[in-house]
Chains A and B, each alone.
Chain A
Amino acid sequence: MEQTFLQPHAKWIVLVHAAAAIVLVGASTHNFLVTLGYLRGRYKARLGRIYAAIILWAYGITFVFGSLAYPTYRYFVRGLYLDRYATWASNLFDIKENFAALGLPLVIGAFVLSRTMNPQEDRPLLSGYAVMVFGTTAIVWFNVISGLLITMTKGV
């Protein structure tokens, strides 16, 4: 039988990937609300810094573990099953993985800005910060829902 990188451990890798994604969806939604508060004149900057740090770690873990499971997914899930029986799921996965990569600079940017700017004094910087935080939240929610739909169709 064919072997891919870390294939015997793929289920555990995807489990850690999913657990980190649960943390990520919670933290990014909370950070979205904190940032909405900045725009409306309510400044919970300490909370914003904490959520940005949690998001950085959770996104990093989700991304790395997802990348480690990817070779197994590519052959055993996509190559043998999804591309033949559920092409919509195969295409949705590729959209999701591209969105996840595009979220990387947003997460890093939001983390760095949360540590350096004072949302009350540096209001001109808030528009870019909001782009980073809102973009991250949208990508995370899209990816979590897509990931669930794909895994319901066929997992590793």
Chain B
Amino acid sequence: MERKQALYCALCTAIIAFSLAFAFPAFSPTRVLWYYPLAHEWRFEVKSNGIAMDFYGRNLLATVISTAAFALVFVLLRRRKVTERTLGLMAAWASTALLLSMGLYTYQLVMRHPTPAPLPAWYQPK
């Protein structure tokens, strides 16, 4: 049972770490990988210059941090007994971190005024 509980706590920790690490660049300037789809280039920077996407970079950042958090918690807890209260709290913290991150992105994006790309000569809107 200790192993199952450790796995459960490590998975909940991974959800918390992923949610917070994924949202972190949205409120604190952080260097992440940006992909420039027209230049076919990757750049490691805080803000983009032109049409670029930080989705892959934020995913990579969150994956690395959550994998490290998962491994750390699993190693620390695999031979320890975890109380039922802690198991319930882990679920509550995981859902709170997830909802916070989702709420932050919704708040930031719902009223955004994006800057469109300049229209090329060949473009026909339809």
Contacts and interface: CB of A to CB of B under 8 A. Distances in A.
B18 A81 contact: no
Given A79-B116, A84-B116, A105-B14, A95 B59 contact: no
B123 interface: yes
Given A75-B51, A112-B11, A116-B4, A95 B113 contact: no
Contacts of A117: 4, 8
Interface in A107-156: 108-109, 112-113, 116-117, 122, 124-125, 127-128, 130-132, 135
Contact of A83 (B15, B59, B62, B115): B115
Interface string A62-97: 000001001110110011111111010011001101
Q: What band does the interface of chain A fall in when counting residues whose beta carbon is under 8 Å from B?
A: 35 or more
A105 B98 CA distance: 10
Interface in B17-41: 18-19, 22, 35, 37-38, 40
B15 A97 contact: no
A124 B88 contact: yes
A5 B41 CA distance: 11
A99 to B, nearest CB: 6
Contacts of B58: 101
B7 interface: yes
A80 B119 contact: yes
Contacts, number: 139
A87 B110 CA distance: 10
A113 B7 contact: yes
Contacts of B38: 2-4, 75
B102 to A, nearest CB: 6
B91 A128 contact: yes
Interface of B: 1, 4-5, 7-8, 11-12, 14-15, 18-19, 22, 35, 37-38, 40, 51, 53, 55-56, 58-59, 62-63, 66, 84, 87-88, 90-92, 94-95, 98, 101-102, 105-106, 109-117, 119-120, 122-123, 125
